[in-house]
Structure 1
Amino acid sequence: MSTRSFASLRIGLLGAGRVASQLGPALLAAGHSVVFVWNRNPARAAALVDELPSARLLVDLALPLPPADVYLLAVPDAAVAPLLAATAWPDGALVAHLAGALPLSIFETQPAIRGGVFYPLQTFSPGRAIDWPAVPLCVEANDLAAETTLLDLAGSLSQHVRRLDSAQRLKLHVAAVFANNFTNHLLGIADALLAEAQLPPELLAPLVRETVDKALANSPFAVQTGPAVRRDAPTLAAHQTALAAHPAWQALYQQLTASIQAQL
């Protein structure tokens, strides 16, 4: 956590999924109190409450919410708008969603609250510990006081806090999908191809590590290697033949080859 001194805030946490289950304990460790946890599945909310001594289980959003300095919406993107409409928010409440692709304008339907964004740029999976000081936290808000509160909250967790507007954050989110989700899918394909050949996935580990390290140290397009860059037609053709049993992967191979060659 940051070595700066930050005020302790009361947090209302709406959501108990992958992000909330990591964020709740991190907020507690940073000196904040989670005053309640709500989830559409009360059992999941109750399980998270058990990890947060200051929190209580909230079941009915139509009743007045317990007082909090910040209400964080750690729910799927599609659930944010319905949740905003269904909740009895206190007048002037500071409510922030955690989504990368949702604009700040989603709060315009709720003029009685102050809207904000508290976007952690990280992938969250069960059983994986998050190094919060290293996680970029992107903040946006409708007013200066709300922004200041969210920046302080972010600074209590992370050493990498940025103000980003909605357009910047959307581009960042798209970039993150390419860097994380698509890369992971491609690694899944590679893993499946190795399994077909009865080869261990560990064979690719040194290559993957070097690829990522090199891409982070350089402009990735500038250090691209492989048969597409060399325009090695025989190898490209052999790979296409090897993928004949997987037409979707074969088409993806062709598209990625064309994309690499378009950057040359």
Structure 2
Amino acid sequence: MYNPLKISIAGSGKVARVLSLEFKNAGHDIAQIISRNSDSGNKLAEEVDAEYITLDEEVNKVDFIAVLVSDDSITKVSSMLPTDIPQIHASGVTSIDALKSETQGVVWPIKSINSKSVNSTLKGTPMAIEANDEGFKSKLSSAIKSIGGEGFGADSSQRAIIHLAAVFTDNFANHCLTLSQDILKGADLKTNLMSTLANGLFEGAMCGDSASRQTGVAVRGDIGSQMKHLGLLERDSQKEFYKFLSKQIKEYYEL
């Protein structure tokens, strides 16, 4: 069992909404939504039965304030909040020192939170935990467990490495899938033709053996097929991207 916490949220974007609802649904009390955006701030406050305030108004005493704003805004927003109230952020790449409170923590869900996933649960999601106080770290671990997250300890340097890997796994891979879909759409072909291949990529990610699954013209050094592919691409940027990735693949497997 866990003790219900009183939590305030600084921010009203996608991450703020997901974590607010997760904590609320787990039985925690969302005291205040602190946001410069009155429209999204009021809307989120209504969803989680919280008070909406701006950064200029009085902040109530709570167990912690989650500073859920853009990475570049974390320090600025943190410095405008009471330093005697513990604060956390949820950024993968930002150091814990970006917070200006006396007690600091990080809770980073390793999950892409976008317009398509904003209503999804964090149950089963790996969540990196860091704190400058062991008691506070224990409290954060309990809070994560209460929403079904899979918490694990990771300091700022470890989290930065995990975040870098996440960029390759999610952001870069998703961009490649987007380009693939654009190519198919341009030829009036169905984008779901790649579903079996995409499932294979997912299996590799789950098993941790993606390298052993690499196939294709680049790893084989099939120059003729590569030249044909380049002839089918219309934009120079696509051609350069294709050549760059092909070179990277070839060099990786020659090591």
Q: TM-score, normalised by structure 1?
A: 0.91
Task: Specify the code of the residue in structure 2 equivalent to 1:9.
Answer: L
Q: Given the alignment of the two structures, is residue 231 of structure 1 paired with residue 221 of structure 2, yes or no?
A: yes
Q: 1:37, CA displacement in angstroms?
A: 0.6
Backbone CA RMSD of aligned residues: 1.4
Match of 1:81 in 2: 75
Give the unaligned 5+ runs of structure 2: none
For residues 98-247 of structure 1, the aligned pairs below 5 Å read 98-107=90-99, 110=100, 113-128=102-117, 129-243=119-233, 245-247=234-236
Q: Tell whether the 8 Å contact from 1:136 to 1:158 is kept in structure 2 after alignment.
A: no
CA-to-aligned-CA distance 1:83-122 (integer Å, 9 cap, x gap): 12223x052x110011000111223xx3x52111111111
Shift of 1:218: 4.4
Q: CA deviation at 1:131?
A: 2.9
Runs of 4+ in 1 over 6 A off after TM superposition: none
> How much has 1:127 moved relative to structure 2?
4.6
Q: Name the % identity.
A: 25
Aligned to 2:22: 26
Deviations 1:216-242 (A, max 9, x none): 224111110111111111101111111
The alpha-carbon deviation at position 159 of structure 1 amounts to: 4.1
Moved more, 127-136 or 148-157: 127-136
Deviation at 1:215, TM superposition (A): 3.8
Instruction: Say which SS state the counterpart of residue 159 (structure 2) adopts.
Output: helix
Displacement of 1:175 in angstroms is: 0.7
**Unaligned 5+ residue runs, structure 1?**
none
User: Of the two structures, which has the highest relative contact order with CA contacts closer than 8 Å and spacing of 6 or more?
Assistant: 1
Secondary structure at 1:158's aligned position in 2?
A: coil
8 Å contact kept, 2:107–2:140? yes
CA contact (8 A) 1:65 1:90 kept: no
Q: How far does residue 258 in structure 1 lie from its aligned partner after superposition?
A: 1.1
